[in-house]
Structure 1
């Protein structure tokens, strides 16, 4: 939320807002999940200390926009983030809130924001080849595999894997 308490982005039935210290218990609930730990660089277990460190890190990161996904402006259901320097978006929805189209709607909202407000011509996602759910979200939000970009090999938390690049191009003016 901005200083006056309004959501930063309102689109597709979502109110996307900044994280606050009041969200620490919800951050733990959302991110302390084996599936999220497996697919993201988030700490595992995602305990109180990890939640505090995460909140401190995202609050002071002007080149990254981390927004809580909400439908009511209050209760976080997940997160969508934009790395302004790389033009990449990431998203995660808590296990209890999946299957409601939240990831697709949040990705669409952040993609539109990146194109219109940030002036990003080409927005990117990085998705593991076997992450069918994330690939389905990408397709639903209008992304396609980027041609000519080789898979990136990453090692995180003792696991080595590949990331495929997906892209969304700004609409022609």
Structure 2
């Protein structure tokens, strides 16, 4: 049975080229993950705030190295794309930004991010999400980007709004965290917003 519409993006839209490094133009760089980032990722996940809003823990640098290997391979599979957010001058890890749950045919992906404790309150997540969104819309051709966060995570809600992701609603009891089920806000941007 033929489709009546063409896919928004076709296989290879990401993987036909190496994963790019994306400068924010104001001191940050979104770059592909490196094996040497494992100690910094492990350290980031020792922060209690990470445990509050994320459903994974990182028990060792070896585990972080395994995550990084998966993140590096994910580009080729085009199901997700992960970047380290670093200080452009020092290469110090400031956080992570990603496109997850990529549906190329529909031109849709989910933006996700986290920041290390010392980077919070400095606009790192906002700048990273804005840069990634611009690249996804203008360079790749995505149509819609979604962003989800626990409704109690007010800081993430501020980042989403500032980065141009309109609040579309609340997904009730949508994600199980260690402290129970969380309602999740759904934000989105579409190309042209």
Indicate the TM-score class for this superposition, using the shorter chain for normalisation. 0.7 to 0.9
Counterpart check, 1:65 vs 2:81: yes
**Structure with higher RCO (Cα < 8 A, 6+ apart):** 2
Asked whether the equivalents of residues 126 and 162 of structure 2 are also in contact (C-alpha less than 8 Å), the reply is yes
Change (3 A) 1:115 1:97: same
Measured against aligned partners, the alpha-carbon deviations of 1:40-88 in whole angstroms (never above 9, x if no partner) come to 1322x54223212211221221221111111226221110011223510
TM-score normalised to structure 2 length: 0.77
Q: CA deviation at 1:11?
A: 2.1
Change (3 A) 1:46 1:81: farther
Structure 2 unaligned blocks of 5 or more: 1-18
Match of 1:155 among 176, 187, 192: 176
Between Structure 1 and Structure 2, whose CA radius of gyration is higher? 2
Equivalence for 1:51: 64
Equivalence for 2:187: 166
Match of 2:138 among 82, 92, 116: 116
**What is the alpha-carbon distance in structure 1 between the residues aligned to residue 93 and residue 131 of structure 2?**
16
Equivalence for 2:110: 88
Change (3 A) 1:46 1:78: farther
**What is the alpha-carbon distance in structure 2 between the residues aligned to residue 69 and residue 164 of structure 1?**
24
Change (3 A) 1:152 1:144: farther
2:160 is paired with a residue whose SS is: helix
Q: CA deviation at 1:159?
A: 2.8
Measured against aligned partners, the alpha-carbon deviations of 1:16-62 in whole angstroms (never above 9, x if no partner) come to 1011111111111222212112211322x542232122112212212
Matches within 5 A, 1:24-43: 24-43=38-57
**What is the alpha-carbon distance in structure 2 between the residues aligned to residue 121 and residue 34 of structure 1?**
35
Equivalence for 1:3: none
Change (3 A) 1:169 1:116: same
1:171 is paired with a residue whose SS is: coil
Counterpart check, 1:19 vs 2:41: no
